[in-house]
Structures are given as C-alpha cells and as structure tokens.
Amino acid sequence: KQAEYEAFLDRPSMSADGVQVELVANIGSSADAKQAKLKGAEGIGLFRTEFLFMGRDTLPTEDEQYEAYRTVAEAFGADAPIVIRTMDIGGDKELPLLELEKEDNPFLGYRAIRISLDRPELFKTQLRAILRASAHGNVKAMFPMIATLREWRMAKQLLEEAKQELSEAGIPFNPSMETGIMIEIPAAAMMADRLAREVDFFSIGTNDLVQYTMAADRMNPKLSSLSDPFHPAVLRLIDRVIAAAHAEGKWVGMCGEMAGNPLALPVLLGMGLDEFSMSAGSVTRARWLLARLDRERLQNLARAVLDVDDAADAKALVLREVPEVS
Ligand code: PEP
Ligand code: MG
C-alpha cells in the first residue's frame, strides 16, 4: 500500500469527480518545513509557533521569528499557502518565562489569544515578524482560541497597528495578507456566521473543539471514547462552521487530528471542507484516498452522519459507504 500512496507524492489533490482541495501539513518548527514538502504537502496549514518560544531563557526577537517564518515560506515557494498561527501558550504548553500563575483548569484558563491580547507588545512583535515573512510567500496569519467577535476584532486591530509600524519604518510586507482564526471553541462555532463576515478563513481545530464540546480533557486516556470527533454533536458543529464560511465566500480548513484521519476524509469532503492540514506522513495516503472519492456522492453521507445517535453509528456509516478507508 505504502508504494501506492507514494505514487501520489506530487499529483494534484483532486477527488474522482474533479474537486480540488488542499492537502497541507502541520509543523512545530521551521526545520520541519522541508521534510513536509518532501512528503508531499503542498503548503503549511498550521505552524505551531509556540514551540519557538518554549525551552529557552529569553523570548525570541522579532528578527529571529521573522527568520523562522521566512524559512518556512521559502521552503515551499511563492504560491504555496503558509498558515502561521500566533502562539498558543497555556493549556498543556507551559512557558515559565511569562511567569503565568498556576491554574486548576489550564485548558479553561489563560491561554493563547487571551495572553496575546493582554500583552500587546509581545503579540505585535510576533505579528510584525509574520507580516515581514509575508513579503516572501503566500503567508497567512491565524489566531488560536478565539471565543468571541471582540477578541477577533482586538487581534485584528493589533495587526493593523503592526502594519502601520512596519509602513512607517519602510519595511516590506503584504498589506493584504489573509488573516483567519481557528474554530476550536464551541462559542466560536456557534457564532461562525458572524465571524465569517470579518475573517478571511477558518481552520477547525478539532483537538480542542472535541475536548470543549464533549467536556473531556484531551490528555486523559480514561476519556478516550468521549474524545472522538465522530460524535454527532461535534459533526454538527463542523458542518455548521463549513456552511457558515461558504455562505460568506470564505474558505475553511481543518488542522486538528481529524483532518488526517482516513475515516473522516469522506465526511469532511462531503461537507465541503477546502483544506486538510495533517502530519506530513499522512499526506500521500489522503491524496490516494481522495482520488477514489466522489464528492457529489459523499454529500449524502455527510448529511447522514449528522442524523445518527452516536459516534459508533457515524463510523459504521462511513465504513459501509467507503470501504477503502479501512
Ligand atoms: C486543535 O486544537 O485541534 C489544534 C490544531 O490546535 P492544538 O492541537 O495546537 O491545540
Ligand atoms: Mg487547539
């Protein structure tokens, strides 16, 4: 099988009925970018930049960040989409440098954009670095853990300030850099119709979306049956988010683990997902599978999984309709 998948290394990411999607990779460092390209990713759907901040004694400077982001853009060339997510510290990712207080419920706590909005200088340093990298490729910025429109608007405002600062200094960047948000909190999924009016794109973070929807800590192995994106409650949220984005003419991707799961691909394709971001090692298999799928036909499957009682039924439906996934 592996050799069959490898044959899809640089084919277009297209379904049997000619629908093109993007198969891109999640990375945690700029050094991973080259490898991701070699494994067939056509861009980066999630650069987890927090790893640039962790395990060191000082915060990375604007120049250091710029170099890291530019390296990723240059590994792929001018047109490939490169989605750089601003830092997602907190939850399970600690950063002693920031001297954050210990919390009883870190996943429900001070995390990601919540910290960034409280520390505008730290945030704007990162935003300027991302903007500067946008002069070297199809770089896009993405904000993690958005729960409200207000947070999105505040983050966007700080991005505008960062642009202003660069303009005044005569430093080049792409003034129309696409800017989107992760949909990983149920509140944002419920407000997706409103958020979609203002953002350029969504990327659904199912790792957190499942944990917050099912109230099941993603790190707790005892809860693994609840930590399953096939629960119809989660599938209904995902379907809503995709429809909300498309109603406003925006594209929508997914960068949680679900995006790389062969069992999920037919459902997500049927729902109309535009971009799938996964670990680089999963890309060729996803492209092989995609080429065997008919999106038109899968629209019925995508409706059917919203109408089942539980995750097991949803998975059984997929296996029955698309035996190639197993
Ligand atoms: C997610 O929550 O699905 C996601 C991609 O973000 P992270 O795993 O980094 O929290
Ligand atoms: Mg997340």
pLDDT (tens digit per residue) in 164-176: 999 999 999 999 9
Distance between CA atoms of residues 62 and 295, nearest Å: 43
Closest Cα to residue 42, out of 80, 5, 83? 80
Mutate to test the pocket of ligand 1, among 26, 29, 47, 48 (most ligand atoms within 8 A of CB): 48
Model pLDDT, residue 226: 98
ipTM: 0.99
205 CB near ligand 1 (under 6 Å): yes
188 CB near ligand 1 (under 6 Å): no
Please give the full DSSP string across 255-269, using - where no structure is assigned: -SGGGG-TTTHHHHH
Q: Atom 1 (ligand 1): residue with closest C-alpha?
A: 205
Compute CA distances 81 → 24, 43, 139, 203, whole Å: 8, 5, 6, 13
> pTM of the prediction?
0.98
Distance between CA atoms of residues 275 and 254, nearest Å: 6
Stretches where the chain sits below pLDDT 50 are none
Contacts of 236 (CB under 8 A, 6+ apart): 306
Q: Give the start-end residues of each E strand in 170-323.
A: 179-183, 201-204, 251-254, 275-278
pLDDT (tens digit per residue) in 278-316: 999 999 999 999 999 999 999 999 999 999 999 999 999
Cβ density class 213-228: b for 16+ within 10 Å, e for less: bbebbbeeeeeeebbb
